[in-house]
């Protein structure tokens, strides 16, 4: 019993493929619709995850600018020397600030606050008041700080006047 294994040959269409103007227009419109759709999705994701707002009111921030310059000039004229350190203590971070005046005497009686600011997410920021242990040496423990890059912002006030501000980039290792 013989078996025939030849494939059936389909007849070729009478007309060969032709690229028409409608096909080109449809492909071009489809391409740009896909690009616009992807752009819309990416913009939505970008805006919902990082709105781009750094301050609540840019106008109020600009109004404080001249006062901030005057405060920095007064801080420079005081000639204070500051030494800030941050170290790990388990999962916590210990911040130490030593303040000396231009004669080397300790600067005492200040209300000092330290902030660890995360560069990407404000919800990760930590703040703690520093307590004066010995004269001119202020210390605070900030609980549960993960490793990585941070900005250490220290602000000292005497009464209602801010007399010292410092910002430093730090790296905490796990």
Beta-strand pair 161-172/137-142: unpaired
CA–CA distances in Å: residue 171 to residues 37, 49, 90, 130, 158: 40, 25, 15, 20, 29
Distances, alpha carbon 105 to alpha carbons 79, 80, 81, 94, 95, in Å: 12, 9, 10, 24, 21
Q: Look up the pTM and report it.
A: 0.62
pLDDT in tens, 144-168: 998 889 999 999 999 998 999 999 9
Question: Dmax of the chain from CA atoms?
Answer: 115
Encode pLDDT of 84-106 as tens digits.
999 998 889 999 999 999 998 99
Residue that has been written with the tokens 């202020």 in this structure: 138
């Amino acid at each position: 019993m013989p078996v025939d294994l030849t494939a059936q040959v389909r007849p070729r269409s009478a007309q060969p493929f032709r690229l028409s103007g409608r096909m080109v227009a449809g492909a071009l419109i489809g391409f740009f619709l896909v690009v616009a759709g992807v752009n819309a999705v990416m913009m939505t994701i970008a805006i919902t995850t990082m709105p781009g707002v750094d301050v609540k009111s840019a106008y109020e921030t600009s109004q404080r600018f001249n006062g901030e310059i005057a405060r920095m000039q007064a801080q420079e004229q005081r000639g204070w020397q500051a030494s800030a350190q941050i170290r790990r203590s388990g999962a916590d971070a210990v911040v130490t600030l030593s303040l000396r005046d231009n004669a080397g005497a300790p600067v005492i009686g200040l209300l000092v606050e330290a902030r660890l600011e995360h560069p990407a997410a404000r919800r990760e920021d930590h703040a703690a008041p520093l307590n004066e242990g010995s004269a001119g040496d202020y210390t605070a423990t900030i609980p549960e700080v993960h490793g990585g890059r941070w900005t250490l912002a220290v602000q000292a006030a005497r009464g209602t006047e801010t007399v010292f501000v410092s910002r430093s980039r730090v790296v905490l290792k796990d």
